[in-house]
Structure 1
């Protein structure tokens, strides 16, 4: 190659030597005005996904560069998985720059849930994590919900400076950016999007009027989210893409719920009570007796209990035991999958998830 160039879809440096490495394009493609790599071309035109090894340390180094400039930092989080989509130590990476939080995927929540309550919940959680955002805006990039409010907030808080948009993989960051650049008049479909984590490989700079820019930073891969372990072709069966319909189960002591072949919920001891499941509507939830659960798991995981169709792709399952006081309703969260809202009576439950995936208890969000 005679000149260094970058893919306008994912930000990776283009190369014409090795078709198996990121950034490959045929040499003739460099003559085009807008050049994208072969991977982005296949994603855009054939919805084909090619996985790429990601270097989290390199991503964090890119993030640290933000502290050296004056800019507005916009962190996009997945409202359906706040803890799993938060960038750990974000306040240490951005220096003294202001932080605006965009809570994406609000469309997944039932219409009955008050949006103001969700906003206050995100703001409270951010402060518990050591961050005082200038504002929190709820949005849905996929549905185009509240985009004008998002654009107005960015314009107000950036004060004429550059905008860096950051987030973990698969929070809808690139989809949101494409919506924003259209609103700011900076072009159409500037960034390649797909449902698979890690589509953006390097920082992508999109010019704005006045010489400033929107910079799409690559998504940080968090392996403690179960969604990062699911094969691309099976993501749609496990990741919600429309308003979630809660599923209520009146469980007796000694009953089990299987969430496909991804997670397991055991009601160990306690009086009969309701447990409400919030997960993708397409995810198969199966109830059985706990005494039969081990046998069923071994026989049907990868078949009846799927995704995944190939359980060997996931780490071994690990049990997490919770002693619930029953004073208030709480959420048992499996990061990247969803949560179970517990009953209001004292009980003991076990949650099984792939080893390394974050499982935690929080005050009920709904």
Structure 2
């Protein structure tokens, strides 16, 4: 028996909506129920976890995180279906959004790849280039999508077009929406629900049957299902190292405004305390363009002092992380590159720095977070 399980009359209390074991200690875990709600539920004989309660009464579909093994079991079951897979990734964290082995678990079902957070990309960035980049990254992971779409679930940008594409490719089949946590999958699902059912048709008790631990079944007009699957936890995401306001300072919230920096060799840029960029060597002063959250603090210093500067100021001058969280924040790991053509150095989950040809540079990110080079998008 787990320490946080609720026992009444010798039996484990389970949510009658999804079957999860009810617990009152971890808000992010399955079965969480506030103690006040638990008491009322026991009195009424109907105990719902917070997720099911909000689904039933507010038609809010909250994200659920399962272990890798549980999620892979769900993916394996998808391979036995005849369906369309809508695979949602974060444009700013493509590698962190990749589900390892996805192509092996969905069988012969077609995959429609969806890049979210289109609304924060710089205005000059052409969508065709982003689509090509996403397709290349998917191909490198063994995924061959039938098409690639870009949307903003937050602002509903191009969601109508995505719905048309879903109809085009599903051909009367069920639709499974998959993705890792923090890519905006649940926001997209809620947007689809609003546009597909119309808010006036929603009723107090949930219209969505099958609200089990592993899926939410949303009926489509032709009787088929749109299935929302829980997000798999991907520890390599930048988002897993930050919370609340700290995450908002790192993750782009509005359309990115490029920042130009003229750097001399052996100069460093710190992005708060979460990342770092070094201009190691090159022919004199060169221009570098930063594409990251507009409110993220960026500090320039000398490369020779960078290590000591970070040690002395992370959590105070260099934030996020905060003073309270700096001890739990992973160390920054460096990745060195020699640039032979104009390129973007991408720090997954943060953004990118456009780098001129003929220089040596390094990108630093929390251990496990990807840093990579791609041809310049702009």
Matches within 5 A, 1:94-109: 94-109=106-121
Task: Give 1:199-218 correspondences, 5 Å limit.
Answer: 202-218=214-230
How far, CA to CA, are the matches of 1:163 and 1:227 in structure 2?
27
Checking the alignment, whether the CA contact within 8 Å between 1:186 and 1:207 is kept in structure 2 is no
Q: 2:328 matched to which residue of 1?
A: 313
The CA distance in 2 between the partners of 1:278 and 1:121, in whole Å, is 17
Q: Which consecutive unaligned segments of at least 5 residues does structure 2 have?
A: 1-10, 58-62, 205-211
Matches within 5 A, 1:59-74: 59-74=71-86
Match of 1:48 in 2: none
Instruction: Assess if the C-alpha contact under 8 Å between 2:84 and 2:110 holds in 1.
Output: yes
Verify the 8 A CA contact 2:125 2:377 in the aligned structure 1: no
**Structure 1 match to 2:297:** 284
Taking a change above 3 Å as real, the CA distance of residues 97 and 243 of structure 1, as seen in their structure-2 partners, is same
Q: 2:271–2:297: 8 Å Cα contact kept in structure 1?
A: yes
Q: CA–CA distance in 1 between the matches of 2:65 and 2:131?
A: 35
Query: Structure 1 residue 267: deviation in Å?
Result: 1.2
Q: Which of 247, 265, 269 lines up with 1:235 in the alignment? A: 247
**How far, CA to CA, are the matches of 1:340 and 1:203 in structure 2?**
38
More moved, 116-125 vs 218-227: 116-125
Report what 1:300 is aligned to: 313
Deviations 1:331-355 (A, max 9, x none): 21222122211112x2222222222
Q: Distance in 2 between matches of 1:72 and 1:53?
A: 22
Confirm or deny that 1:256 pairs with 2:268. yes
How many angstroms apart in 2 are the aligned matches of 1:334 and 1:61? Answer: 31
CA contact (8 A) 1:244 1:279 kept: yes
Q: Measure the CA separation in 2 of the matches of 1:119 and 1:91.
A: 19
CA contact (8 A) 1:63 1:217 kept: no
Q: Deviations over 1:9-35 (max 9, x none)?
A: xxx53444x322531442644899x98
Task: Flag the 1:258–1:165 CA change in 2: closer, same or farther, 3 A.
Answer: same
Quick one: distance in 1 between partners of 2:170 and 2:81?
A: 13
Within 5 A, what are the aligned runs for 1:132-281?
Answer: 132-185=144-197, 202-271=214-283, 272-281=285-294
Pairwise CA distance, 1:94: 0.5
1:112 aligned partner? 124
1:246-293: CA deviations, max 9, x gaps? 111111011010010011111111122111111111111111112222
Residues 149-195 of structure 1 show CA distances to partners (whole Å, capped at 9, x for unaligned) of 111111221111111000111111100011111222176599xxxxx
Calculate the TM-score normalised by the size of structure 1.
0.84
> C-alpha distance in 1, partners of 2:94/2:350?
12
- Displacement, 1:124? 3.7
Q: Distance in 2 between matches of 1:176 and 1:42?
A: 17
* 3-state SS, counterpart of residue 68 of structure 1: coil
**Contact 1:102–1:138 (8 Å) recurs in 2:** yes
Distance 1:184 1:111 in 2: 29
Pick one of 361, 371, 375 that aligns with 1:349.
Answer: 361
Which residue in the other structure is 2:6 paired with?
Answer: none
Give distance in 2, aligned partners of 1:143 and 1:333. Answer: 25
Unaligned runs of 5+ in 1: 46-50, 191-199
Partner of 2:7: none
| SS of residue paired to 1:351 | strand
Q: TM-score, normalised by structure 2?
A: 0.82
**Does the CA-based 8 Å contact 2:268-2:277 persist in structure 1?**
yes
- CA distance, structure 1, for counterparts of residue 12 and residue 330 of structure 2: 44
Equivalenced residues, count: 344
Give 1:13's match in structure 2, choosing from 15, 19, 24. Answer: 19
Greater gyration radius: 2
